[in-house]
């Protein structure tokens, strides 16, 4: 076997090992709102004393989880909002999610092409048609209004004819509005100390934004498409 094939096999084994460890160690039990709320105070204390270390560890966990298409991205985003606040949380999560998504796309392109083709062939056809018509704007649309699940876009886009650098910056730009909304929701959830806190204005506004965002984004994108057609 060639050195290139050995390298691919080694990377694939490493990925499968990480996924297996995630399952065996039942790490998914830590990616839920209950654990987030219970551990918020201890994480906040550690963050005060070791900011850079906590930020680095958080980014590593987020990138790894996203790159391996593991569940829990939403919980990690809410946790980032609760721990880091709106501005820092948005910056860290925006870069971590985009880097992780690009790595997942690269893994799909160079290692899992046949499996992705057989698993998501029907969705791949629709996405390829959209890419042929609209190019990078179609990816931007998928990121802004997620018609397909986050991890499916990462895997299927690995088979599309799109540069990874383009995939990265379009993903970061397209996911940014939703990232801000979810980080803000996490920030507000982190403030809840009792049941009455559920009715706080900040949290109510966050949930209203979560509901209105997809509808607003669809209308904005429709107007952009109409403008492009008439121009």
What are the C-alpha distances in Å from 24 to residues 16, 28, 56, 225? 12, 10, 25, 47
Nearest to 120 by CA among 99, 164, 151, 145: 151
Q: What percent of the chain has pLDDT over 90?
A: 16
Q: Rounded to whole angstroms, how far apart are CA atoms 147 and 130?
A: 12
Entry field: residues in the chain: 231
Predicted confidence at residue 88, as pLDDT, reads 95
Contact at 8 Å (CB) between 63 and 95? no
User: Long-range contacts: 12-21, Cβ < 8 Å, 24+?
Assistant: 12/111, 15/68, 15/107, 15/111, 18/64, 18/68, 19/68, 19/70
- pLDDT for residue 100 is more than 80: yes
What angle do the packed helices 86-110 and 51-67 form, to 10 degrees? 40
Q: Rounded to whole angstroms, how far apart are CA atoms 184 and 81?
A: 6
Q: How confident is the model at residue 14 (pLDDT cuts 50, 70, 90)?
A: confident
- pLDDT for residue 53 is more than 90: yes
Predicted confidence at residue 91, as pLDDT, reads 96
Q: Rounded to whole angstroms, how far apart are CA atoms 203 and 223?
A: 30
Predicted confidence at residue 172, as pLDDT, reads 92
């Amino acid at each position: 076997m060639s050195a290139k094939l050995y390298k691919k096999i080694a990377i694939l084994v490493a990925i499968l090992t990480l996924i297996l460890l995630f399952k065996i160690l039942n790490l998914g039990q830590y990616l839920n709102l209950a654990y987030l709320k219970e551990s918020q105070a201890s994480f906040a204390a550690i963050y005060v004393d070791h900011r850079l270390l906590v930020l680095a560890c958080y980014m590593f966990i987020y990138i790894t989880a996203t790159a391996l298409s593991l569940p829990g991205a939403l919980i990690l985003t809410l946790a980032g909002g609760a721990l880091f606040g709106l501005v820092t949380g948005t910056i860290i999560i925006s870069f971590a999610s985009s880097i992780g998504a690009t790595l997942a796309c690269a893994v799909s392109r160079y290692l899992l092409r046949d499996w992705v083709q057989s698993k998501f062939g029907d969705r791949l056809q629709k996405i390829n048609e959209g890419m042929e018509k609209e190019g990078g704007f179609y990816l931007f649309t998928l990121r802004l209004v997620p018609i397909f699940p986050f991890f499916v876009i990462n895997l299927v886009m690995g088979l599309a004819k799109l540069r990874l650098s383009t995939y990265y910056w379009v993903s970061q730009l397209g996911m940014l509005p939703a990232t801000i909304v979810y980080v803000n929701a996490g920030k507000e959830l982190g403030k809840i100390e009792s049941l009455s806190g559920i009715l706080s204005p900040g949290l109510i506004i966050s949930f209203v934004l979560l509901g209105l965002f997809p509808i607003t984004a669809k209308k904005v994108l429709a107007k952009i498409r109409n403008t492009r057609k008439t121009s």
